């Protein structure tokens, strides 16, 4: 199984990496690693995370206030959002 990003989710990931890199050199890289780990957890244990909507789950990042919002199909994990947990919680719903 693989994962694929919604185009807006990929933009969110890149913007978050840039944001944290501007705060402190290397922090963006740390964020990217944590996001990848959350993606991998969703990939290997897709049903381990609580549903936040019908067939939609969220894998949380360890060090950052973000979650990977995804849905599972037979062939892939489709990442709908790289969600800042301090944003409006349902802003991503138009993507599903």
Residue 6 resides in a domain:
yes
For the chain, the domain total comes to 1
Residue 93 resides in a domain:
no
Residue 67 resides in a domain:
yes
Domain of residue 54: give its range: 2-86
List the pLDDT tens digit at each of the 96 positions of the chain: 788 999 999 999 999 999 999 999 999 999 999 999 999 999 999 999 989 999 999 999 999 999 999 999 888 999 999 999 887 766 566 555
The Cα–Cα gap between 91 and 20 comes to 21
Helix-helix angle 7-23:27-44, to 10 degrees? 140
Residue 96 resides in a domain:
no
The Cα–Cα gap between 86 and 94 comes to 18
Q: Any idea what the CATH number is for the domain that residue 45 is in?
A: 3.30.2310.20
Residue 41 resides in a domain:
yes
Residue 20 resides in a domain:
yes
């Amino acid at each position: 199984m693989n994962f694929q990003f919604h185009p807006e989710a990929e933009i969110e990931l890149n913007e978050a990496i840039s944001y944290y890199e501007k705060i402190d050199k290397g922090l963006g890289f740390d964020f990217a690693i944590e996001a990848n780990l959350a993606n991998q957890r969703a990939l290997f244990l897709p049903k381990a995370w609580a549903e936040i909507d019908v067939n939609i789950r969220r894998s949380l990042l360890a060090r950052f206030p973000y979650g990977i919002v995804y849905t599972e199909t037979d062939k892939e994990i489709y990442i709908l959002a790289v969600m800042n947990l301090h944003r409006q919680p349902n802003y991503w719903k138009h993507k599903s």
